[in-house]
């Protein structure tokens, strides 16, 4: 495809940041009165399980059902404020330096950077802006009268991530064969196989096996970096990236996911 643009698509959790982005906000949500102490403790346990082995399809479906119940009735404005106030304190310490360097390299090569995550736009949007991403794809919740209804409008998971890549390629003229995708999870195989340059990052066992069989690169990210020192301020970004960051930061949807139970068969990345 002559003169076509290309893009780099990044999964978020355990690919760009070291933990679950949604679970990271459990304590601020508790302090804001959105969840109770029991939910905080469950989120802490869920984070441990997630770090140990990730989540398979059945667990993701249980998470989706749980988040629908959990978020119902939350005021959108309050969630936005909590995320904005605590974003840097919570996310700064868990961003992988290797991922930030890759994002910078792709931008330098003229590629758009898109964060693609099953977490909610209210969380993913501000993180994407902080990272200097050009766009995000994330789960969207239905809002009525300024509150989340508990219904999911769009779930960015599995095949729907690949569909989002195809839609973005159609909208922006991306050549997917020349594009890149990065993920830690075998549930993102549809997204990885949608591009010409798939890369496994901190992969779970199933994705590592798949990557080895297909000859995909496998990267290990381990080093956290303080984003305020590492990334340029929004005002220092080029105009196109600055406008994208402003648009991303304004997105108003949240998903909090709870990893409810330990995997029966541990999957060690």
Active-site residue numbers?
Answer: 11, 13
- Half-sphere exposure in the Cβ direction for 268 (13 Å, CA): 0
Beta bridge partners of 8: 113, 180
């Amino acid at each position: 495809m002559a003169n076509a643009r290309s893009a780099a698509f990044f999964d978020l959790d355990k690919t760009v940041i070291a933990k679950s982005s949604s679970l990271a906000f459990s304590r601020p949500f508790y302090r804001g009165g959105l969840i109770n102490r029991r939910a905080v403790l469950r989120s802490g346990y869920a984070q441990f399980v997630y770090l140990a082995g990730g989540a398979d399809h059945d667990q993701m479906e249980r998470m989706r059902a749980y988040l629908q119940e959990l978020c119902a009735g939350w005021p959108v404005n309050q969630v936005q404020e909590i995320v904005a106030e605590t974003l840097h304190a919570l996310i700064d310490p868990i961003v992988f330096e290797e991922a930030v360097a890759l994002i910078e390299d792709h931008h330098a090569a003229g590629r758009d950077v898109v964060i693609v995550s099953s977490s909610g736009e209210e969380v993913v949007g501000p993180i994407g802006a902080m990272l200097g991403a050009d766009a995000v794809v994330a789960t969207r919740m239905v809002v009525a009268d300024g509150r989340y209804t508990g219904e999911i409008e769009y779930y960015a998971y599995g095949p729907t991530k690949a569909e989002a890549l195809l839609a973005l390629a159609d909208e922006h003229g991306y050549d997917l064969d020349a594009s890149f995708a990065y993920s830690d999870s075998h549930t993102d195989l549809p997204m990885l196989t949608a591009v010409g340059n798939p890369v496994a990052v901190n992969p779970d066992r199933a994705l590592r096996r798949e990557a080895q069989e297909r000859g995909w690169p496998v990267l290990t990210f381990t080093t956290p970096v303080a984003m305020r020192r590492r990334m340029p301020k929004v005002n220092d970004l080029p105009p196109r990236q600055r406008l994208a960051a402003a648009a991303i930061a304004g997105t108003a949807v949240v998903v909090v996911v709870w990893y409810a139970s330990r995997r029966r068969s541990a999957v060690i990345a």
